[in-house]
Structure 1
Amino acid sequence: MNSRDSLARGVTRAAPGTLHARSLWGGIKIAPTPGRVLRFGRGEPPGVELTVGDDDLRVSRRHGELTYREGAWWLRNQGQQLVRLPRGKLLHISSEPVPIAAGYTPLFVKGSGYREHLVELYVTDYDQVLTPRQQARTLAPKRWPLADDERLVLVALGQRYLLYEPEPRPLSYRQAAAELGCLTGGVPWGERKVAYRVDAVRMRLARAGDFPYELLRTEPDGPSDNTLKHNLLRGLVESTTLVPPDLALLDGPLAGAGGPGGAHPPGTR
C-alpha cells in the first residue's frame, strides 16, 4: 500500500454501516451484518482478516476485533498491549468494547519500544447515501501539492498531529532535524535547513490565498512562529494533504526499532 493512500480521504460508495479497514499490510471492506466480526493482529488469514505489525512480537496474533451489533461496530482489545484511539482514549484487554463512530477513525496498536501500528477505520454514514444529490460527484477537500522533501520534513515536524494526540503541537526545528538526520543515514539536517523548507511551504501557500489559517506574521505583535507552524500543520492535516499513513515515511533505513509501519513519539529517536 502506498504510504499516501488513506481512508481519511474517503471511501467508495457503500451501504450505510459498511466497515472499511486498512493497515500497511492491506485492506478489507465488510458489510454491516449482525454478528459479523473483523479480527486484526500479527497473525494472518484465516486467523485474522487484517494483519497488523506482522514483524513485531509485542503485537498479539489476534490483537483486537470489531463486531457489528446494535447498529454499530464495536471495538474490543484482545491483546496484551494497549490500543489507542483519537484524543488519547486507551483500550486495555480488560476495557469494555467501544462503538466506532461513523466516518474516519485511526487507531494505534502499541508495539515494541515506541512503536505504534496504524489501523485506519471508516464506517459509511447514512449521509453518504441518503442525500438529494446521490449521483453528484463528491467534492474533495482542497489539498496542496508538496515536494517529497517538504512532505518528509512536515511529517517529522507534525507527527503528533498525525498520531491524533490531544492538543498536538509541532516539534521544534532542532527535534525535527535530529530525527531526519537519523532517517537519512547521518546526512546533516540542521535547524536552518528544516526551517527553510517549512518557510518555503508557508510562503507558497500564503501567496495562493486560499489556506484556511494564518501562515505569516504581518504585524510585529502578530502570532508566534510556533503558532504559525501549528496553523500550517493543522490545515494540512484537516485537508488530508498529510494523512496518518504518511508516518511510514519516518521509518527510514536507520529507524532501528521503529521498523516498517511503526510510528514514533516525537523526538524520541
Structure 2
Amino acid sequence: MSPFRPVDGGTTLPESHGSLARGVPPSAPGTIFTLTLAGGIALGSGEGREVIFGRNRPDVHVCLGEDDLRVSRRHGSLVHRGRHWWLHNTGRLPIRLPGARLLFGNEEPVPLAEGYTPLFVRGSNEREHLLEVYVAGADGRRPAPRHEDVTRPPKVWRLDEDERLALIVLGQRYLLHEPRPQPLPWHMAAGQLAELRPDAGWTRKKVEHLVVGVRNRLSAGGVAGLTRAEIGEPVGNALNHNLLRELLLSTTLVPPDLAVLDEPPVRGGERP
C-alpha cells in the first residue's frame, strides 16, 4: 500500500496508535496530532505548516475513508496561522465538528481549541469517517488524571410544577429516545395536559406561554439557540428542539419523568 505524503518535521503515528481521546505524550505547545483508522501524524506548530487529509493516500498526509467515494481525494486541511490551527474544508461533503457544527466546502476556516477534537465526514451508506485531532496545550501536556476528585454535577435548570409537566409532555418523544424526535405540537400537548390535569385550565396558549418563558430564562442564563434572532426565519420547531435538547443534556428532564404520563387524571389541588 502506498505511503502517506511525507511532511517536513512530522512524526508518523501508526494504525495501531491508541485513540487521541486518551491524550498525547508531553509535547511542545501547539503541536498537533491527527489520527484516522489508517494512521496519522504529529506536527509541531509553525506559521503556514499544513496537514492535508482525504481519500487519496499518496497525496495526503493523513488518509481518511480511502475506500469511500463520497470522501474527497483532498477533503480538508489543518493550517497553522497566528497562534491557532485552522480547519479548512476543501471537499464536497461538510465536516462535522462537536456540537453538530457543520463546516462546508469553501466556508471560512474555523480555529481548533486546545485538547481533543473529533471531526466526522459522513460517507456512503451512513458511514461516519472519524479524524481525531489533538492540539497540545500551553504546558505541552494532556490534562492530569483526576480519579478521586468529586464529580461536577451538570447545571440543572429550575422548573416549577406546571413548567415541568408541560415540558415532559412537549418533549416526550425525546425522553422516549425516538430516532429523530420533534416537539409535540402545541395543540396536542395542550390536549394531553388537559387529560392529565382536567381542572388546571390547560390551553394551547397556556402551554406556549409557559414554554416561551422557560426559553427566555435559559437564554438569559447563557444557553444558545433559544431566540428567533439566533435561529433566523423560518424558525419551525428549532427553538423548542434546542430547548428540549438542553433540558435533556443538563439532566433537568430524564426518561423516568415519563411516569407522570401514566398517572390517573388529577382534579383540583389533589396530587396522586
TM-score normalized with structure 2 length: 0.48
Q: Give 1 or 2 for the bigger CA radius of gyration.
A: 2
Greater relative contact order, per chain length (Cα 8 Å cut-off, separation 6+):
1
